[in-house]
Structure 1
Amino acid sequence: MATIGETHIENRERIQPNDTNNHGSAHGGNVMRWLDEVGAICAMRHAGETCVTASVDDLDFEQPIPQGETCVVVGYAYATGRTSIRVRLRAFHEDPRTGERERTTDSRFVFVAIADDGSPVPVPDLTVGSERCEELRRAALDGERGQ
Protein backbone atom coordinates (compact mmCIF):
# COMPACT_ATOMS: atom_id res chain seq x y z
CA MET A 1 0.00 0.00 0.00
CA ALA A 2 1.55 3.30 -1.11
CA THR A 3 1.10 6.62 0.59
CA ILE A 4 0.16 9.80 -1.26
CA GLY A 5 3.71 11.05 -0.75
CA GLU A 6 5.17 7.95 -2.41
CA THR A 7 3.16 8.68 -5.56
CA HIS A 8 4.31 12.31 -5.78
CA ILE A 9 6.14 12.95 -9.09
CA GLU A 10 7.65 16.14 -10.52
CA ASN A 11 8.96 16.44 -14.08
CA ARG A 12 10.23 19.29 -16.27
CA GLU A 13 10.02 20.05 -19.97
CA ARG A 14 11.76 23.02 -21.59
CA ILE A 15 9.42 24.82 -24.00
CA GLN A 16 11.19 24.73 -27.36
CA PRO A 17 9.94 26.26 -30.64
CA ASN A 18 8.53 22.93 -31.83
CA ASP A 19 6.43 22.72 -28.61
CA THR A 20 4.63 26.00 -29.27
CA ASN A 21 1.46 27.24 -30.94
CA ASN A 22 1.02 30.33 -33.14
CA HIS A 23 1.22 32.55 -30.05
CA GLY A 24 4.69 31.38 -28.98
CA SER A 25 3.47 29.46 -25.94
CA ALA A 26 3.25 25.75 -25.15
CA HIS A 27 0.69 23.96 -27.30
CA GLY A 28 -2.15 22.71 -25.06
CA GLY A 29 -1.90 19.23 -26.56
CA ASN A 30 1.73 18.98 -25.48
CA VAL A 31 0.86 20.08 -21.95
CA MET A 32 -1.91 17.45 -21.87
CA ARG A 33 0.55 14.76 -22.98
CA TRP A 34 3.04 15.75 -20.26
CA LEU A 35 0.26 15.70 -17.65
CA ASP A 36 -0.89 12.28 -18.86
CA GLU A 37 2.64 10.82 -18.75
CA VAL A 38 3.32 12.03 -15.21
CA GLY A 39 -0.15 10.94 -14.10
CA ALA A 40 0.39 7.42 -15.42
CA ILE A 41 3.67 7.18 -13.50
CA CYS A 42 1.94 8.34 -10.29
CA ALA A 43 -0.79 5.73 -10.79
CA MET A 44 1.66 2.92 -11.62
CA ARG A 45 3.79 3.78 -8.62
CA HIS A 46 0.74 3.18 -6.44
CA ALA A 47 -0.80 0.22 -8.24
CA GLY A 48 2.38 -1.68 -9.02
CA GLU A 49 0.70 -2.43 -12.35
CA THR A 50 0.50 -0.87 -15.78
CA CYS A 51 -2.09 1.92 -15.74
CA VAL A 52 -3.96 3.51 -18.61
CA THR A 53 -5.91 6.76 -18.83
CA ALA A 54 -9.63 6.25 -18.26
CA SER A 55 -10.81 9.85 -18.13
CA VAL A 56 -9.83 13.46 -17.69
CA ASP A 57 -12.25 14.84 -15.14
CA ASP A 58 -10.96 18.43 -15.07
CA LEU A 59 -8.46 20.29 -17.20
CA ASP A 60 -8.20 24.02 -16.76
CA PHE A 61 -5.63 26.03 -18.70
CA GLU A 62 -5.24 29.17 -16.59
CA GLN A 63 -2.38 30.90 -18.41
CA PRO A 64 0.16 30.16 -21.16
CA ILE A 65 3.68 28.80 -20.77
CA PRO A 66 5.98 30.96 -22.91
CA GLN A 67 8.65 29.55 -25.17
CA GLY A 68 11.98 29.40 -23.35
CA GLU A 69 10.35 28.77 -19.97
CA THR A 70 10.21 25.40 -18.26
CA CYS A 71 6.97 23.50 -17.81
CA VAL A 72 6.99 21.79 -14.42
CA VAL A 73 4.39 19.04 -14.03
CA VAL A 74 3.54 17.91 -10.50
CA GLY A 75 1.24 14.99 -9.78
CA TYR A 76 0.12 12.63 -7.04
CA ALA A 77 -2.51 9.96 -6.48
CA TYR A 78 -5.16 11.07 -4.00
CA ALA A 79 -7.96 8.47 -4.13
CA THR A 80 -8.67 4.96 -5.37
CA GLY A 81 -11.61 2.91 -6.50
CA ARG A 82 -11.66 -0.85 -7.04
CA THR A 83 -9.43 -0.71 -10.15
CA SER A 84 -9.00 3.04 -10.56
CA ILE A 85 -6.66 5.68 -9.24
CA ARG A 86 -7.46 9.40 -9.24
CA VAL A 87 -4.47 11.67 -9.80
CA ARG A 88 -4.22 15.43 -9.37
CA LEU A 89 -1.92 17.05 -11.90
CA ARG A 90 -0.77 20.64 -12.08
CA ALA A 91 1.55 22.42 -14.47
CA PHE A 92 3.60 25.52 -13.72
CA HIS A 93 5.74 27.73 -15.86
CA GLU A 94 9.11 28.17 -14.27
CA ASP A 95 11.82 30.66 -15.12
CA PRO A 96 14.88 28.43 -15.67
CA ARG A 97 17.20 31.18 -14.40
CA THR A 98 15.47 31.96 -11.12
CA GLY A 99 13.21 28.98 -10.38
CA GLU A 100 10.21 31.30 -9.91
CA ARG A 101 6.95 29.48 -10.67
CA GLU A 102 3.36 30.31 -11.56
CA ARG A 103 0.60 27.73 -11.89
CA THR A 104 -0.71 27.43 -15.43
CA THR A 105 -2.85 24.29 -15.42
CA ASP A 106 -4.89 22.32 -12.90
CA SER A 107 -6.38 18.91 -13.67
CA ARG A 108 -7.61 15.57 -12.38
CA PHE A 109 -7.18 12.36 -14.35
CA VAL A 110 -8.46 8.84 -13.66
CA PHE A 111 -6.28 5.84 -14.48
CA VAL A 112 -7.17 2.14 -14.44
CA ALA A 113 -4.72 -0.61 -13.53
CA ILE A 114 -4.61 -3.39 -16.13
CA ALA A 115 -3.21 -6.90 -16.42
CA ASP A 116 -1.11 -8.08 -19.37
CA ASP A 117 -4.29 -9.08 -21.23
CA GLY A 118 -5.72 -5.55 -20.81
CA SER A 119 -8.36 -6.47 -18.23
CA PRO A 120 -8.76 -4.23 -15.17
CA VAL A 121 -7.12 -5.42 -11.94
CA PRO A 122 -7.80 -4.32 -8.35
CA VAL A 123 -5.58 -1.67 -6.78
CA PRO A 124 -4.63 -1.38 -3.10
CA ASP A 125 -6.09 1.31 -0.87
CA LEU A 126 -4.14 4.55 -0.75
CA THR A 127 -2.97 5.72 2.65
CA VAL A 128 -2.45 9.33 3.60
CA GLY A 129 0.87 8.97 5.44
CA SER A 130 1.38 12.49 6.86
CA GLU A 131 -0.28 15.81 7.59
CA ARG A 132 1.15 17.24 4.34
CA CYS A 133 -0.31 14.32 2.39
CA GLU A 134 -3.71 14.92 4.04
CA GLU A 135 -3.50 18.56 2.86
CA LEU A 136 -2.77 17.37 -0.70
CA ARG A 137 -5.69 14.93 -0.63
CA ARG A 138 -8.06 17.56 0.75
CA ALA A 139 -7.00 20.07 -1.94
CA ALA A 140 -7.62 17.52 -4.69
CA LEU A 141 -11.02 16.50 -3.28
CA ASP A 142 -12.06 20.15 -2.78
CA GLY A 143 -11.21 20.80 -6.42
CA GLU A 144 -13.47 17.92 -7.47
CA ARG A 145 -16.34 19.66 -5.72
CA GLY A 146 -15.64 22.91 -7.53
CA GLN A 147 -14.23 24.77 -4.52
Structure 2
Amino acid sequence: MTALIETLVENREMVQPNHANMLEVAHGGNVMKWMDEVGAMSAMRFAGETCVTVRVDRMNFERPIPVGDTAYITAYVYDAGTSSVRVRLVTEREDLRTREREKTTESYFVYVAIDENNDPTSVPELTVNSEEGTRLRDEALEGATGCR
Protein backbone atom coordinates (compact mmCIF):
# COMPACT_ATOMS: atom_id res chain seq x y z
CA MET A 1 0.00 0.00 0.00
CA THR A 2 1.18 3.48 -0.84
CA ALA A 3 -0.08 6.63 0.86
CA LEU A 4 -1.41 9.40 -1.35
CA ILE A 5 0.94 11.96 0.17
CA GLU A 6 3.94 9.81 -0.89
CA THR A 7 2.92 10.28 -4.54
CA LEU A 8 3.08 14.08 -4.41
CA VAL A 9 5.56 15.44 -6.97
CA GLU A 10 6.26 19.13 -7.55
CA ASN A 11 8.44 20.47 -10.35
CA ARG A 12 9.22 23.74 -12.09
CA GLU A 13 9.94 24.56 -15.72
CA MET A 14 11.28 28.01 -16.64
CA VAL A 15 9.37 29.30 -19.67
CA GLN A 16 12.03 30.25 -22.22
CA PRO A 17 11.47 31.91 -25.62
CA ASN A 18 11.78 28.51 -27.35
CA HIS A 19 8.78 27.26 -25.28
CA ALA A 20 6.59 30.18 -26.33
CA ASN A 21 4.06 30.86 -29.05
CA MET A 22 3.78 34.10 -31.02
CA LEU A 23 2.13 35.77 -28.02
CA GLU A 24 5.29 35.21 -25.93
CA VAL A 25 3.55 32.84 -23.51
CA ALA A 26 4.08 29.11 -22.98
CA HIS A 27 2.74 27.04 -25.86
CA GLY A 28 -0.06 24.79 -24.60
CA GLY A 29 1.67 21.72 -26.02
CA ASN A 30 4.74 22.40 -23.90
CA VAL A 31 2.63 22.83 -20.77
CA MET A 32 0.87 19.54 -21.51
CA LYS A 33 4.21 17.75 -22.05
CA TRP A 34 5.59 19.05 -18.75
CA MET A 35 2.42 18.00 -16.96
CA ASP A 36 2.57 14.53 -18.53
CA GLU A 37 6.15 14.06 -17.37
CA VAL A 38 5.42 15.13 -13.79
CA GLY A 39 2.24 13.04 -13.75
CA ALA A 40 4.19 9.98 -14.89
CA MET A 41 6.71 10.56 -12.09
CA SER A 42 3.87 10.58 -9.56
CA ALA A 43 2.29 7.45 -11.07
CA MET A 44 5.63 5.58 -11.08
CA ARG A 45 6.37 6.66 -7.52
CA PHE A 46 3.02 5.12 -6.56
CA ALA A 47 3.17 1.97 -8.67
CA GLY A 48 6.85 1.12 -8.36
CA GLU A 49 6.64 0.31 -12.07
CA THR A 50 7.02 2.13 -15.38
CA CYS A 51 3.77 3.92 -16.18
CA VAL A 52 2.52 5.10 -19.56
CA THR A 53 -0.14 7.67 -20.38
CA VAL A 54 -3.42 6.19 -21.60
CA ARG A 55 -5.82 9.10 -21.25
CA VAL A 56 -6.10 12.78 -20.56
CA ASP A 57 -9.58 13.32 -19.15
CA ARG A 58 -9.51 17.05 -19.82
CA MET A 59 -7.06 19.92 -20.06
CA ASN A 60 -8.29 23.31 -18.89
CA PHE A 61 -6.07 26.27 -19.79
CA GLU A 62 -7.30 29.13 -17.60
CA ARG A 63 -4.53 31.71 -18.10
CA PRO A 64 -1.16 31.99 -19.86
CA ILE A 65 2.38 31.63 -18.48
CA PRO A 66 4.61 34.43 -19.82
CA VAL A 67 8.20 33.93 -20.90
CA GLY A 68 10.42 34.41 -17.85
CA ASP A 69 7.91 32.96 -15.38
CA THR A 70 7.96 29.35 -14.28
CA ALA A 71 5.36 26.65 -14.69
CA TYR A 72 5.00 25.21 -11.17
CA ILE A 73 3.47 21.76 -11.60
CA THR A 74 1.97 19.65 -8.82
CA ALA A 75 0.87 16.04 -9.35
CA TYR A 76 -0.46 13.31 -7.08
CA VAL A 77 -2.27 9.99 -7.37
CA TYR A 78 -5.85 10.23 -6.13
CA ASP A 79 -7.24 6.87 -7.27
CA ALA A 80 -6.06 3.52 -8.62
CA GLY A 81 -7.52 0.46 -10.24
CA THR A 82 -5.98 -2.91 -10.98
CA SER A 83 -3.26 -1.53 -13.26
CA SER A 84 -4.46 2.05 -13.79
CA VAL A 85 -3.40 5.13 -11.87
CA ARG A 86 -5.36 8.40 -11.81
CA VAL A 87 -3.32 11.56 -11.29
CA ARG A 88 -4.50 15.11 -10.66
CA LEU A 89 -2.24 17.79 -12.12
CA VAL A 90 -2.29 21.51 -11.39
CA THR A 91 0.01 24.05 -13.03
CA GLU A 92 0.54 27.50 -11.61
CA ARG A 93 2.30 30.48 -13.12
CA GLU A 94 5.03 31.57 -10.73
CA ASP A 95 6.98 34.83 -10.78
CA LEU A 96 10.23 33.88 -9.06
CA ARG A 97 11.01 37.50 -8.18
CA THR A 98 7.79 38.06 -6.23
CA ARG A 99 6.88 34.41 -5.52
CA GLU A 100 3.38 35.25 -6.75
CA ARG A 101 1.48 32.21 -8.07
CA GLU A 102 -1.83 31.72 -9.81
CA LYS A 103 -3.42 28.60 -11.26
CA THR A 104 -3.14 28.37 -15.03
CA THR A 105 -3.97 24.79 -15.96
CA GLU A 106 -5.66 21.75 -14.43
CA SER A 107 -5.99 18.22 -15.74
CA TYR A 108 -6.61 14.59 -14.81
CA PHE A 109 -4.39 11.97 -16.46
CA VAL A 110 -4.70 8.20 -16.40
CA TYR A 111 -1.58 6.04 -16.58
CA VAL A 112 -1.19 2.27 -16.75
CA ALA A 113 1.63 0.42 -15.02
CA ILE A 114 3.54 -1.91 -17.32
CA ASP A 115 6.06 -4.68 -16.76
CA GLU A 116 9.31 -5.44 -18.60
CA ASN A 117 7.28 -6.91 -21.52
CA ASN A 118 5.17 -3.74 -21.77
CA ASP A 119 2.12 -5.62 -20.50
CA PRO A 120 -0.18 -4.08 -17.88
CA THR A 121 0.80 -5.04 -14.35
CA SER A 122 -0.89 -4.62 -11.01
CA VAL A 123 -0.49 -1.58 -8.78
CA PRO A 124 -0.71 -1.37 -4.99
CA GLU A 125 -3.69 -0.11 -3.06
CA LEU A 126 -3.80 3.63 -2.48
CA THR A 127 -4.20 4.68 1.13
CA VAL A 128 -5.07 8.06 2.58
CA ASN A 129 -3.72 8.40 6.10
CA SER A 130 -3.34 12.12 6.74
CA GLU A 131 -5.50 15.23 6.80
CA GLU A 132 -3.50 16.68 3.88
CA GLY A 133 -3.98 13.46 1.89
CA THR A 134 -7.71 13.52 2.57
CA ARG A 135 -7.95 17.17 1.49
CA LEU A 136 -6.02 16.49 -1.74
CA ARG A 137 -8.09 13.41 -2.58
CA ASP A 138 -11.36 15.26 -1.93
CA GLU A 139 -10.24 18.13 -4.20
CA ALA A 140 -9.30 15.67 -6.94
CA LEU A 141 -12.53 13.70 -6.73
CA GLU A 142 -14.57 16.91 -6.79
CA GLY A 143 -12.70 18.19 -9.84
CA ALA A 144 -12.73 14.85 -11.62
CA THR A 145 -16.53 14.58 -11.51
CA GLY A 146 -17.62 13.93 -15.07
CA CYS A 147 -14.20 12.64 -16.14
CA ARG A 148 -14.92 8.97 -15.51
TM-score by length of 1: 0.97
Listed one character per residue, the Cα deviations across residues 58-105 of structure 1 (whole Å, up to 9, x for unaligned) are 210000000110110000000001100000001000001121100000
Show the 5 A alignment for 1:1-147.
1-145=1-145
Q: Secondary structure at the match of 2:91?
A: strand
What is the Cα-based RMSD across aligned positions, in Å?
A: 0.7
Looking at structure 2, the residues matched to 48 and 128 of structure 1 have their Cα atoms a distance apart, in angstroms, of 18
| Equivalent AA in structure 1 for residue 67 of structure 2 | Q
Q: Secondary structure at the match of 2:2?
A: coil
Looking at structure 2, the residues matched to 145 and 110 of structure 1 have their Cα atoms a distance apart, in angstroms, of 14
Identical aligned residues as a percent: 55
Looking at structure 2, the residues matched to 83 and 102 of structure 1 have their Cα atoms a distance apart, in angstroms, of 33
| Equivalent AA in structure 1 for residue 103 of structure 2 | R
Following TM superposition, by how much is the alpha carbon of 1:115 offset from its aligned partner in structure 2, in angstroms? Answer: 0.4
Question: Which runs of 4 or more aligned residues in structure 1 lie more than 3 Å from their structure 2 counterparts after TM superposition?
Answer: none
Following TM superposition, by how much is the alpha carbon of 1:40 offset from its aligned partner in structure 2, in angstroms? Answer: 0.3
Unmatched 5+ stretches in structure 2: none
TM-score by length of 2: 0.97
Looking at structure 2, the residues matched to 101 and 111 of structure 1 have their Cα atoms a distance apart, in angstroms, of 28
Q: Secondary structure at the match of 1:82?
A: coil
Q: Secondary structure at the match of 2:3?
A: coil
Following TM superposition, by how much is the alpha carbon of 1:145 offset from its aligned partner in structure 2, in angstroms? Answer: 1.3
| Equivalent AA in structure 2 for residue 25 of structure 1 | V
Looking at structure 2, the residues matched to 53 and 45 of structure 1 have their Cα atoms a distance apart, in angstroms, of 14
Q: Secondary structure at the match of 1:132?
A: helix
Looking at structure 2, the residues matched to 10 and 68 of structure 1 have their Cα atoms a distance apart, in angstroms, of 19
